[in-house]
Amino acid sequence: MVLEFLLLYLAVFIAFAFSAPATASNLIGSAALKHRIPLSPSLHKALANRNHQEAINALESMDTASLSGRQRADHQFLLAWSYLRTDTPQNAIPMLAHVEANQSAPGDYRALTLGEIHLADGAPHLASAAFSAIAPSSMLAPRAQLQLAAAHQEIGATRAAIEIYAKLALRNDPAEGSDIALLALATRKGLSNPKSKAWLTRLWVHYPLTSAGRKASQALGTHGPSIQNRGERTYRLMELGAWRSVTDTLSSRLADYPLTTALGCKVHYAYGRSLFKRNQVTAAAEILVPVGTKCPGLDDTNGPKALYLAGKSLERKKDWAGAARAYQRIPDLYPDHSMADDGYALGGIAWVEAGKPKMGQALWETQADTYPTGDMAGEGFWRLAWSAYLRGEPHTAIDWAERMVREVPIGVDPIHVVGAKYWAARWRLYPDVANPRQLNPDAESVTEGLDGLVAMYNSHPTNFYSLHAANRLKELSAAHVAALIHPEPADTTANTWSVSASFMAHPSTQRALKLARLGLVSEARSEFRQVDLDFSPSEQALVSSIHAAQDPFAAHDKLHKFLIHQPPSSLGADRDRILVQAYPDHYWDLLQAVASSYDFDSRIFHALVREESSFNKDIRSWAGAKGLSQLMPATARRVAKWLGKRVTSANIKDPELNLAIGSRYLNYLFGYFRENPYLAVAAYNAGEGNVGKWVTRFGEIPSDEFVEHIPFRETRHYVKRVLGTYQAYRVIRGPAAAPPDWAHANHETGRTER
């Protein structure tokens, strides 16, 4: 009885929360997301992914005898919704009464469905009334207006239909439904009529890949758009990702667009970015540098982006001085742009790579003073601290690290800010870069360092640097090890999400939750995108949990990226639920089956897979790496032979084979680098050849220093992400919350096996 009362209370609370005025916060429980009718996994997936015919088949075969009256209306609404999105809208006509009685669907979705059924039933007047009930602010308004125009045409009210098309055409391009409206207006006048040219030109420029856009292209022929319009079209093609079309179009016509106009800047940027996307980096840099340097005041949107991509292009060519100059021009020429601090950070790195560290130092100092909260502030501060340590100035290094902790918000860059806490303590313990194994003779500094490591670990137990901190403490002080707080595995017994009153009260949220309960996940996600608020971690996790019904791996990837700037300490009351959702056990059973015989902890490989592919088995990198463990074909073939297997382009993405090869390769790397996890993970990303060269170059230095010395920024961050994720899995999933014993790597990297 107590349980029944609690469930009834929860249901009443949720119902109240949906209708009552918003208060400070709201809880969304399982009752608020429970499906209106029983949905089998296959039906849920079909509805979520808009596989309408599959949904129809499943809905038609459902036993509806046990459904309540309200559930029958929901069933019929879903059936009508699906019929109307196939070529059989007439099959939805018998559901009309149920759709009229439906109380579960959002009002505008019900009105749209009613209107479309009336159209199919030959009742355009009734359809017109239904469509007119949909508010202009609704996401469905463009579709409804187009259907309303069709209804007017059905009853011969051509003028009314044209007025609707004309009103839709008044919106700025591109806009949903405008391509249909513009084509309708042009068709009515006649596609060859000169008066239609303006509409056709807009179609050609702003909707080039739509059916209407292609018809406009045919109608315009060779007597069409001006140079201005051609330039705008290429920019639109770039926005749509049609890189080859852009480069093919502009390769012989770039001279038509001088870099003395805003349009010229846009067109040159479109061409340069398209070249970059096609990996033609030499040509891209030649185009993009002039865009960035000549377009201040003309195009302050694309100018800084052009210099950024130019820097990336030159990096790929190992032209570090050229990259540094490109990056440095961003804050020089566009100081108010969000990329200005990126220019200082990346420019400084490039100058160091070019052999001019003082120039890099100067850029980072300017960045720290000018943009202390920029998105790359952590990188700049860290470089200042690390370079001071390498110069033999540990006190200066500590000052920079502690200033970073004070000034850079942890959400901007959790890895670097927590890293600064670690290194501020570590440098108190071992301050001598020339002798990093020598403990500081100053007992007070040692105590401060030990206390700092404990405080850092206890505040950030899921962080990469907690691995270093715990292993340093194991070596130095049993008392301080005893002071470490090892969290219990995440508690997921709660089934509510804590959301803000403004999120809950937003009309799009209300519609989205109703749609999710009907199984219309794609439509729900579209509504959530209309919520013009910054989502809290709980709200993002809620949206992700709904998205998972459509694509669990894409949902995880989105939440994964969102949480990069949301350390666990900032996740609020739903922290445990969010972390369990963000660190799922996807492929864990299969991964254990293929990797359990190896000496390394299987969770390391699980973490690696999460960071490599976000558990998307079909992913392919720009470099050609494929599958869950992102195997390069040559490496895959090499390792597959060790397993007596054969890899082809057809089977390399097969999860079992891909994970078997990836785990075997990681096991080889652990052996090659004498069980040093930092080196093995680095080698998975950069290759054992590169890591072997770095070991020789840097000598027998502590592993924490080795990671910071890694020359490839991508690899350095990769090691921190993978092993940080590994530590997070240990804390969140258990059973062992305490870090592994890797103290053997504290003071040396270990020579490689030969």
* Contact indicator for 262, 283 with CB cutoff of 8 Å: no
CA distance 102 to 216: 41
CA gap 324, 318 in Å, rounded? 11
Distance, CA of 109 to CA of 423 (rounded, Å): 56
Confirm if 729 and 606 have CB atoms less than 8 A apart: yes
Task: Reduce the secondary structure of 247-281 to three states and give it as a string.
Answer: HHHHCCCHHHCCCCCHHHHHHHHHHHHHHHHCCCH
C-alpha dihedral (561, 563, 565, 566), degrees to nearest 10: 170
- The count of C-alpha atoms lying within 13 angstroms of the C-alpha of 578, restricted to the half-sphere facing its C-beta, is 27
Catalytic residue list contains 612:
yes
Best CA proximity match to 666, nearest among 608, 593, 724, 720? 608
Give the Cβ contact number of residue 352 at 10 Å.
21
* CB burial of residue 434 (10 Å; 0-12, 13-18, 19+): exposed
The residue assigned the tokens 């790496």 is 625
Q: Name the catalytic one among 116, 611, 612, 705.
A: 612
H helix or E strand, kind and range, residue 497: strand 496-500
Distance CA 18, CA 94 (A): 31
What is the helix (H) or strand (E) element at residue 26, kind and residue range? strand 25-29
Helix (H) or strand (E) holding 533: none
3-state secondary structure of 336: coil
Alpha carbon 657 to chain centroid distance? Answer: 27
- 487 secondary structure, DSSP code: P
Residues acting as catalytic residues: 612
